Amino acid sequence: MSDYWSAVVQGLTPYVPGEQPKLPNLIKLNTNESPYGPSRKVLDALRTEIGDTLRLYPDPLSDKLRSAIAQRHQLTPDQVFVGNGSDEVLAHVFLALLKHDAPVLFPDITYSFYPVYCRLYAIDYVQVPLNAEFAIDVGDYARPNGGIIFPNPNAPTGRLVPLVEIERLLKSNPASVVVIDEAYVDFGGVSCVPLVKRYPQLLVTHTLSKSHALAGLRVGYATGHPLLIEALNRVKDSFNSYPLDRLAQAGATAAIEDETYFKQMCQKVIATKKSLAEQLQTLGFEVLPSAANFVFARMPERDGAEIAARLRERSIIVRHFKNPRRIAPYLRITVGTDEQCAGLVDALREIVYTN
C-alpha cells in the first residue's frame, strides 16, 4: 500500500518521541515533563470553560492568551504567536522563516525534530558540531546561512549559551532569522525575549509543557518582531485557523497569569536537580552542567544503553540516545520529585556496585 505514498512521505524518517510506557509503579524520567501538577488556577479555569460553549469554535487569534503572554514579557500582542505546542510553532517557523536558498544551521547534537522539519519541507541544512565540552560556540555560526536555530539550554545536553553570546550571534547575523528555542530556559537560564525589541531578526519560542506543567494541553508560543509573527500567522491560517481549543486557551492563560506558582515550581525543580547531580557524581557519574529540568550524565567505562535497560527492569525509565557521535554513553534523566530521584539513585547504586 505504500505505493500510494507521495515521494515526500517515502523519504521521511519521522521524529521518535519519548516512550510513554504503561508499567506498574513507574518512575518516569524520560520525557522532561513536570513532576508537579499545574496551578489550581489552571484547573479552575478548565472547569469554568467546560459547558455549552464547547459547541462553538475557539477564538482563532487566541487574543486573551496572547495578551497574557505579552504582558508577562512586556511586549505587545502583535509580537506574540501561539500554537498547538511548541512543536507546531517550530514547524511553522521552519516553513515561514527558515526555507531559503542558503542552508539553515543548527547543532549536530540537539533537538532531533529539526532535521525532520527540514526533510519535510525540503530545507537545506548544515549541522554545526558542538565543541569538545558539548557546548555551542556561536563563533562557529559565522558563515552564510538561511537562518540559525538551537535550543537554549540545548537538548539533550542541558548546556546554556550565555545571553551575552546570544547577542554576539545576533550582531554578527543581521541578514537572516535567528531562532532561540527556550523550552527549558526557566530552569536555570536567562531568557533572551527582551532582545526581540532590539533585534528584528530574533524569534524566541517557548512551551508551557515543562515549567508550567501543561504537557497535556499542548500550548507553545513565539515572540518576535510583528513581521515575523505575521509570517507565522500566514502559515497557520493556510494550515489550521483554530490550533488552540477553548480549554487550551483558558488553561494556558491561567498558567501564564499565575506567576507565583510558576516560580515556586521552577525553584523546586532546580533544587532537586542540584541534589541529583551531586548524588550522581558521588556514584562516579560525569554530569554536564545543566540549565534545564534534566541532567545529562554518563558512567565512565559503562554502556549507557545497558544502564537504561537495567533501570527499566526496575520500572525506572530514562532517555538514551543511540547517536554515534559521543553521546551514546550518556543518559538524559528528567528531574522528578525528591522521592523519584531518590528511587533512581538507589537503583543506580545497586546497578553500579553489583556488577
Range of the domain at 290: 2-37+260-353
Q: Which of 258, 276, 294 is the last residue of a domain?
A: 258
HEC-encoded secondary structure of the chain? CHHHCCHHHHCCCCCCCCCCCCCCCCEEECCCCCCCCCCHHHHHHHHHHCCHHHHCCCCCCCHHHHHHHHHHHCCCHHHEEEECHHHHHHHHHHHHHCCCCCCEEEECCCCCHHHHHHHHHCCCEEEECCCCCCCCCHHHHCCCCCCEEEECCCCCCCCCCCHHHHHHHHHCCCCCCEEEECCCHHHCCCCCHHHHHCCCCEEEEEECCCCCCCCCCCCEEEEECHHHHHHHHHHHCCCCCCCCCHHHHHHHHHHHHCHHHHHHHHHHHHHHHHHHHHHHHHCCCEECCCCCCEEEEECCCCCHHHHHHHHHHCCEEEEECCCCCCCCCEEEEECCCHHHHHHHHHHHHHHHHCC
pTM metric for this prediction: 0.95
Q: Are residues 29 and 156 in the same domain?
A: no
Q: Are residues 209 and 299 in the same domain?
A: no
Residue 293 has a pLDDT of 98
Q: Which of 213, 230, 258 is the last residue of a domain?
A: 258
Residue 1 has a pLDDT of 63
In which residue ranges of the chain is pLDDT below 50? none
Residue 355 has a pLDDT of 63
Residue 19 has a pLDDT of 73
Residue 324 has a pLDDT of 61
Residue 353 has a pLDDT of 80
Q: Are residues 187 and 293 in the same domain?
A: no
Q: Tell me, yes or no, whether 43 lies in a domain.
A: no
pLDDT in tens, 269-311: 999 999 999 999 999 999 999 999 999 999 998 899 999 999 9
Q: Which of 258, 273, 292 is the last residue of a domain?
A: 258
Q: Are residues 132 and 241 in the same domain?
A: yes
Q: Are residues 7 and 24 in the same domain?
A: yes
Q: Are residues 19 and 99 in the same domain?
A: no
